[in-house]
Structure 1
Amino acid sequence: MRGGRWRRIARQIGRSVAVWAVSTVTMLVLAGILPDFQLQSPDGDSATDIAVTAALGAGAFGVLSAVFWPLLVRLLLLVPALVLGLLVFVLNGVLLSVALRLVPSGDSEAAPETAVIVAAVMSAVASATGAALAVRDDDAYRRRLYRLADRRRRTLPPGPSSPGTVFVQLDGVGHDVLLAAVDKGLMPTVARWLGGPRASHRLTRWHTDWSSQTGASQLGILHGSNFDVPAFRWYEKAGREVMVCNRPTSAAELQRRAVDRTGDPGLLAADGASRGNLFSGGADEQALVLSIATRRRSRENRSRAGYFAYFSDPANAVRTALSFVAEVGREIGQSTRARARKVRPRVGRGGLYPLIRAFATVVERDVVVAAVMGDMLAGRTAVYADLVAYDEVAHHSGPRSGDAEKVLARLDRSLALIENVAEHAPRPYRIVVLSDHGQSPGETFRSRYGLGLGDLARAGCGLPVPRRARRTHSGAEARAAVRAALRRPVEEGAGQHRPPRRSEPIVLASGNLGLVSFPDVPHRMTKEEIDARHPALLTTLANHPGVGFLLVRSERNGGVVLGAYGAEIPLDRLDEDPGPLEVFGPHAADAVRRTHSFPNTADIMVNSAYDPADGEVLAFEEQIGSHGGLGGAQSEPFLLSPLAFSPAAGDGEELVGAEGVHRVLRRWLRESDGPQVPLTTAPEERAA
């Protein structure tokens, strides 16, 4: 035992000496490269004196960083996080300038801007060296966690003995994608939780609502209601505005509506923290939460937890910045290879996308994971965090692409980090991993047919469309259908029928779900009204090979599903005759009926075609991995829960809908014997 302790001490000393030596060499190299950075007097010093000066400067910089940097960050916690990220580099440069002045020779100096560069490079090199030396040393990593935990315990009262719960959402990871990644060895942490006689977790498949996207799913999971969220974006006739789930004003309004409907602040109201989410879940502690982005900053809504844990090490900001640049390069390289190999399907990945991808896969991940670590070391009762990296990459590279698989491997390492932190938290923690939806592959509607859904809808209305769309087979068929419906001749060059400007539709897309609304009509139009104004529109859409089915309101039947060849199935008959819904699975009918009950359902709801043989859909957006409607893996996310919790669903039962997941998570919080969290009453029961 004592021999092992001395070996650990020797390894620690060896790592420290190695990092010091590498930092010294880095300082010497930078002094030779940068004209405004010198380590010798104007008269010149010997090589030995310069080396000693560099060693003393590197040592002083390391000591100052270790001692004073955490204090500086504590003083700057009131500074917004993004500003603090920039100040990291400036303050790092200040510490280097002070370190150089402490060197006995007094000959070392650096211009202010040069000091910032030198400090950033030295921090990055020192961090990389330390990580490389300690990557296989679990004892070193555990000791660092112990120090973080001890620091927390000295400033906080003892934590409760009841378990806390951490919910980690892997955005967009489908149930089957997770299993495939485990089978390939990409996610060893998840494999260990699931595999063998020592398995600690169980895996449950659940089924989304028709709107299989983060806005609807996460609102239902965190707040117990996603009523009247028909898609990711939709037009509301009452307010005459387009709602978009990831727009701060829309997210805040959706959260307010959910709270009003349930009468409950959310899943995280009892000592909870919300990290990287669209909605707060009622948590007091929030970081990167969209629904509070429009509020004026105050002590109540400023996010602090996690930022100290992240920025207290100045190398973190440097490492994240370098990882950001590396990720941009990785995306450019991967997209270039895809173009060179003529990979199909493929979408454009230029413009700002490499930067957006790097933010999602590096910056958001680092800050959110650091915040979760801080929450656990603080002993919070419930934490919900969303990691969006996979979803962003899969949209553009494909759900099962090599690019997306590499992201899954990095996310698994984040789960391992959270698991390790849990061992040193002031209370036991149970880790639940879940997804909000999956993704279905397939080429885009536009790439297959040469025109978008908006072009097709306009052509079906007899409105002008771009010349390229008119020349496509679909565009020509739509124009012919309009002329036939209006009993007009079909000669080439005949003038197009142009209805009044007021009847032009608003066409929006959410993955493979399309929404057509007529803004000049204050109510949801019926099939009969649409046919009267645009006789060819519904048949044009329903008979298109890229469309699976339509949902419209009917004066005679209340609501109907329309399909090709004149199929028209009333909603109350879908169980006995699913018609075009049959291919979409047993839960499709209930999902469609539920969406039909929403006040803000569009005049025409359009779901793309779905091929069950290969699981492919046709996105109405420029995405080759999409979600938002029905069809395939997008509707089948997962719930990975500790065996200590009761099963998510009973034997032979299936977990359906985000609101159902909310009730399960509520039950698990009660089972943890923490603060009693009341089960949200179902809206129907409250109305009764």
Structure 2
Amino acid sequence: MWVVTTLTMLVLAGLLPDFRLESPDDDSATRLGVTAAIGAGVFGLLSALVWPLLVRLLLLVPALVLGLLVFFLNGGLLLVALWANPVQQGDASPETAVVVAAVMSAVASATGGALAVRDDDAYRRRLHRLSDRRRVRAVAGGPVTPGVVLLQLDGVGHDVLRDAVGQGLMPTVARWLGEDGGGRPPTHRLALWRTDWSSQTGASQLGILHGSNFDVPAFRWYDKQRREVMVCNRPSSAVVLQRRAAKNAGHPGLLAVDGASRGNLFSGGAGEQALVLSIAARRRRKGFRSRSGYFAYFADPANAVRTALSFGAEVLRELGQSLRSRLERRRPRVGRGGLYPFLRAFATVVQRDVVVYAVAGDMLAGRTAVYADLVAYDEVAHHSGPRGRDAAQVLRRLDRVLALLEKVAEHTPRPYRFVVLSDHGQSPGETFRSRYGLDLGDLVRAGCGLPVPRRARRTRSGAEARSAVRAALHRPVEEGAGEHLPPVRRAEPVVLASGNLGLVSFPDVGHRMSREEIDARHPALLATLANHPGIGFLLVRSEEHGGLVMAAHGAAVPLEELSEENPGPLEPYGPGAVAAVKRTHGFPQAADIMINSWHDPATGEVHAFEEQIGSHGGLGGEQGRAFLLAPVALPEPQDPLVGAEAVHRVLLRWLGKPPAGTGP
């Protein structure tokens, strides 16, 4: 590194007329080389000693902006190094000094980080070296019982994982399952778990981490008691949901004992939290904890360069893949322009690198339990499809993350078991708006006899990565928040979408309206919705029958009459659909009208009410089929895993009384 920065300084001195390392009357090549070497050496020392202090002084700067400031701030240290040179001071005009400083800082950081961009072994060694200071428990007589690392691969369905292993996209998982052809016995077993009706990260992760997702009917819904729209990836909403879940479950969460929560919507009761959305709404000192993972990661300039190079490559990759999709005229397809390439790069590069770095640090510190969410696949699959080539590349990279952390475990003060799970899957299909030329809000307005805009409005995606970007940028208003607030005319319905699950609420009525009340106000609304070809069924409350499932051709079946043997209109949605709908009907915050899109059992397709060709949030297809990959050393669940709360109970048992064994 010293040699490279010295040579770079000499090259710049030769190329830039306003930058000199020697006095005008000094032509000694040796003296010039010594001056450059000393300047580069002092620069390296300042970068190692002063840079971490500068990072701590910049806590008020948005985390992503800090990454962009790396070159300029580290370049400022170079100017100090030039002025402090004991042999002779360099000379540069202010403008040239800025250029030289930026180039030198980039070269110095790239030298330490560029080799690690493609070399996971080099990156692992860097993580190990930089995390030595955290190994406070790595002493004689330290913990010998295995810790547990729980990695959530957001949106990766059970069947998608199975196919990825069979196609050779995930060799690490294949080795764990004993399916890599090496003849080794499996170290892990793969289980299927079925999500709730609300098959999305908010409900699933809340149930997994806190043991209760009661009264979470969707990703976003209108809360009549609070008179506001609740959104699972809105920090202020996440705080309320986490508090409610802890109260319902009677304990603070899965990670309450020596746990760490990284990159999640909720804390799980962990004492160590970073990039956790439920604490992102807090201000001042406590509020910084949600972004502390970014500052810890960017404290090393080489990390910033490694991530910056990968970020740029991912943006270019998305632009190329999007262009190819248009040229090949693939269907279905959604828009992938605007800021999306940068949002995708954040999810697949920045969030991944920072979370993996934090998890490695937790392992090297010997923490008992770590839970981390990697959102890369979910973000890409929303726009490219859950089984497209773009999503397959992300699965390959996620497998490399598992291999990297497995290698980190070789240096940890205690053995670790790796439990990998998903919060839901994704179901493919053309969007509702693309298929029928109007969105769900327009259809509801038409059924209410209200004017419908001539041009369909573009809906927003509820992908988890957007909330993390806003938290990193100190943005107080979350994605879509203002768009979904109740309209001024409160008699008009609030229409919200969560994948292929739609919710209609009337904000001027303080209770959940009945079918009879809706018919009296808007006689054509329920019939318009139930008979639309893009809608599979409705759930409403009836004064006569309680819960009522409505579908096309006048079907209206009391919910209590449905069962697994007689699912009625819910038959296309497969096993568990009746129980999931019945549970949601019991939620106080269930919408006045709960709408699930059409579903084709033969193809697994649904129609998302958002602009997503890979969606989740309702019933139908692979979105409700998540996975749990756990070491064979842990007890196998005896009962079928139905609902996120069931997964929580299994994980709680594993963490509370881990069996003997030290395998990963």
Cα 1:520–1:217, aligned 2, differ >3 Å: closer, same or farther? Answer: same
- Return the alpha-carbon distance in structure 1 between the equivalents of residues 311 and 127 of structure 2: 25
Secondary structure (helix, strand or coil) at the match of 1:283 reads coil
Cα 1:160–1:527, aligned 2, differ >3 Å: closer, same or farther? Answer: same
In structure 2, what is the equivalent of residue 106 of structure 1? 88
- Return the alpha-carbon distance in structure 2 between the equivalents of residues 216 and 384 of structure 1: 16
- Return the alpha-carbon distance in structure 1 between the equivalents of residues 423 and 46 of structure 2: 44
- Pair 1:593 & 2:574 matched: no
In structure 2, what is the equivalent of residue 621 of structure 1? 610
Secondary structure (helix, strand or coil) at the match of 2:285 reads coil
In structure 2, what is the equivalent of residue 93 of structure 1? 75
- After superposition, what is the alpha-carbon deviation per residue over 1:123-159, rounded to whole angstroms, capped at 9, x for unaligned? 3430355437x938x5x67765664565444686663
Contact 1:305 1:371 in 2 (8 A): no
Contact 2:541 2:547 in 1 (8 A): yes
Query: How far off is 1:503 after superposition?
Result: 3.6
Give TM-score, length-normalised by structure 2. Answer: 0.86
Cα 1:303–1:595, aligned 2, differ >3 Å: closer, same or farther? Answer: closer
Query: How far off is 1:94 after superposition?
Result: 3.6
- After superposition, what is the alpha-carbon deviation per residue over 1:244-269, rounded to whole angstroms, capped at 9, x for unaligned? 11111100011111112122111111
In structure 2, what is the equivalent of residue 602 of structure 1? 591
Query: How far off is 1:431 after superposition?
Result: 1.1
Please tell me the residue identity of whatever aligns with 1:127: G
- Pair 1:345 & 2:332 matched: yes
- Return the alpha-carbon distance in structure 1 between the equivalents of residues 388 and 16 of structure 2: 43
Identity of aligned residues (%): 70
Please tell me the residue identity of whatever aligns with 1:203: L
Contact 2:135 2:366 in 1 (8 A): no
Query: How far off is 1:99 after superposition?
Result: 4.0
Please tell me the residue identity of whatever aligns with 1:119: M
Contact 1:443 1:624 in 2 (8 A): yes
1:541 to 512, 529, 533: 529
Contact 1:285 1:301 in 2 (8 A): no
1:655 to 633, 638, 641: 641
Query: How far off is 1:432 after superposition?
Result: 0.9
- Pair 1:190 & 2:177 matched: no
Cα 1:208–1:57, aligned 2, differ >3 Å: closer, same or farther? Answer: same
- After superposition, what is the alpha-carbon deviation per residue over 1:261-318, rounded to whole angstroms, capped at 9, x for unaligned? 1221111111111111111111111111111112234369736975676334321112
Contact 1:306 1:375 in 2 (8 A): no
- Return the alpha-carbon distance in structure 2 between the equivalents of residues 174 and 35 of structure 1: 60
- Return the alpha-carbon distance in structure 1 between the equivalents of residues 365 and 529 of structure 2: 55
Query: How far off is 1:462 after superposition?
Result: 1.2
Contact 1:284 1:300 in 2 (8 A): no
Contact 2:78 2:105 in 1 (8 A): no
In structure 1, what is the equivalent of residue 502 of structure 2? 514
Give TM-score, length-normalised by structure 1. Answer: 0.83
- Pair 1:177 & 2:163 matched: no
Higher radius of gyration, 1 or 2: 1
2:231 to 244, 248, 267: 244
Query: How far off is 1:582 after superposition?
Result: 0.5
In structure 2, what is the equivalent of residue 672 of structure 1? 658
- Pair 1:566 & 2:550 matched: no
In structure 2, what is the equivalent of residue 329 of structure 1? 316
Please tell me the residue identity of whatever aligns with 2:119: V
- After superposition, what is the alpha-carbon deviation per residue over 1:452-474, rounded to whole angstroms, capped at 9, x for unaligned? 1111111111111123569xxxx
- After superposition, what is the alpha-carbon deviation per residue over 1:614-636, rounded to whole angstroms, capped at 9, x for unaligned? 21110000111110000111111
- After superposition, what is the alpha-carbon deviation per residue over 1:185-212, rounded to whole angstroms, capped at 9, x for unaligned? 2222222211243321111111100000
Secondary structure (helix, strand or coil) at the match of 1:457 reads helix
Contact 2:263 2:355 in 1 (8 A): yes
- 5+ unaligned residues in a row in structure 1: which ranges? 1-18, 471-499, 675-688
Secondary structure (helix, strand or coil) at the match of 1:459 reads helix
Contact 2:127 2:357 in 1 (8 A): no
Query: How far off is 1:346 after superposition?
Result: 1.1
- 5+ unaligned residues in a row in structure 2: which ranges? 458-487
In structure 2, what is the equivalent of residue 527 of structure 1? 515
Contact 2:491 2:506 in 1 (8 A): yes
- Return the alpha-carbon distance in structure 1 between the equivalents of residues 197 and 280 of structure 2: 28
- After superposition, what is the alpha-carbon deviation per residue over 1:475-534, rounded to whole angstroms, capped at 9, x for unaligned? xxxxxxxxxxxxxxxxxxxxxxxxx96542111100000001111222111112212222
Query: How far off is 1:612 after superposition?
Result: 1.7
Query: How far off is 1:26 after superposition?
Result: 4.0
- Return the alpha-carbon distance in structure 1 between the equivalents of residues 16 and 166 of structure 2: 50
- Return the alpha-carbon distance in structure 2 between the equivalents of residues 635 and 363 of structure 1: 28
Secondary structure (helix, strand or coil) at the match of 1:92 reads helix
Contact 1:145 1:424 in 2 (8 A): no
- Pair 1:135 & 2:119 matched: yes
Q: Which moved more, 1:182-191 or 1:100-109?
A: 100-109
In structure 2, what is the equivalent of residue 436 of structure 1? 423
Query: How far off is 1:163 after superposition?
Result: 1.2
- Return the alpha-carbon distance in structure 2 between the equivalents of residues 441 and 31 of structure 1: 57
Q: Which moved more, 1:80-89 or 1:382-391?
A: 80-89
- After superposition, what is the alpha-carbon deviation per residue over 1:539-566, rounded to whole angstroms, capped at 9, x for unaligned? 1111111111111111111111111111
Cα 1:396–1:128, aligned 2, differ >3 Å: closer, same or farther? Answer: same
- Return the alpha-carbon distance in structure 1 between the equivalents of residues 559 and 376 of structure 2: 38
- Return the alpha-carbon distance in structure 1 between the equivalents of residues 399 and 287 of structure 2: 33
Contact 2:208 2:644 in 1 (8 A): yes
Q: Which moved more, 1:657-666 or 1:611-620?
A: 611-620
Q: Which moved more, 1:176-185 or 1:440-449?
A: 176-185
Task: Calculate the aligned-residue CA RMSD, in Å.
Answer: 2.9
In structure 1, what is the equivalent of residue 473 of structure 2? none
In structure 1, what is the equivalent of residue 378 of structure 2? 391
Q: Which moved more, 1:170-179 or 1:225-234?
A: 170-179
Q: Which moved more, 1:39-48 or 1:582-591?
A: 39-48
Secondary structure (helix, strand or coil) at the match of 1:644 reads coil
Contact 2:209 2:254 in 1 (8 A): yes
Please tell me the residue identity of whatever aligns with 1:454: G
- Return the alpha-carbon distance in structure 1 between the equivalents of residues 128 and 337 of structure 2: 44
1:231 to 207, 218, 230: 218
Cα 1:309–1:206, aligned 2, differ >3 Å: closer, same or farther? Answer: same
In structure 1, what is the equivalent of residue 146 of structure 2? 163
Contact 2:321 2:390 in 1 (8 A): yes
- After superposition, what is the alpha-carbon deviation per residue over 1:387-435, rounded to whole angstroms, capped at 9, x for unaligned? 1111111111111122212222222222222111111111111111111
- After superposition, what is the alpha-carbon deviation per residue over 1:143-182, rounded to whole angstroms, capped at 9, x for unaligned? 6566456544468666311111111111111111112222
Please tell me the residue identity of whatever aligns with 2:582: R
- Pair 1:72 & 2:50 matched: no
Please tell me the residue identity of whatever aligns with 1:386: D
Please tell me the residue identity of whatever aligns with 1:95: L
Query: How far off is 1:353 after superposition?
Result: 1.6
- Return the alpha-carbon distance in structure 2 between the equivalents of residues 44 and 330 of structure 1: 50
- After superposition, what is the alpha-carbon deviation per residue over 1:48-88, rounded to whole angstroms, capped at 9, x for unaligned? 7656655554455445545x257637965977772764664
Q: Which moved more, 1:39-48 or 1:574-583?
A: 39-48
- Return the alpha-carbon distance in structure 2 between the equivalents of residues 329 and 267 of structure 1: 39
Secondary structure (helix, strand or coil) at the match of 1:640 reads strand
In structure 2, what is the equivalent of residue 554 of structure 1? 542
Contact 2:276 2:290 in 1 (8 A): no
Please tell me the residue identity of whatever aligns with 1:135: D
Secondary structure (helix, strand or coil) at the match of 2:233 reads coil
Please tell me the residue identity of whatever aligns with 2:581: V
Contact 1:275 1:288 in 2 (8 A): yes
Contact 1:457 1:537 in 2 (8 A): yes
- Return the alpha-carbon distance in structure 1 between the equivalents of residues 37 and 515 of structure 2: 80
Contact 2:4 2:108 in 1 (8 A): no
- Return the alpha-carbon distance in structure 1 between the equivalents of residues 338 and 190 of structure 2: 39
- Return the alpha-carbon distance in structure 2 between the equivalents of residues 145 and 320 of structure 1: 14
- Return the alpha-carbon distance in structure 2 between the equivalents of residues 180 and 122 of structure 1: 42
Query: How far off is 1:21 after superposition?
Result: 4.9
Secondary structure (helix, strand or coil) at the match of 2:336 reads coil
In structure 2, what is the equivalent of residue 5 of structure 1? none
Cα 1:204–1:81, aligned 2, differ >3 Å: closer, same or farther? Answer: farther
Secondary structure (helix, strand or coil) at the match of 1:167 reads strand
Contact 2:280 2:290 in 1 (8 A): no
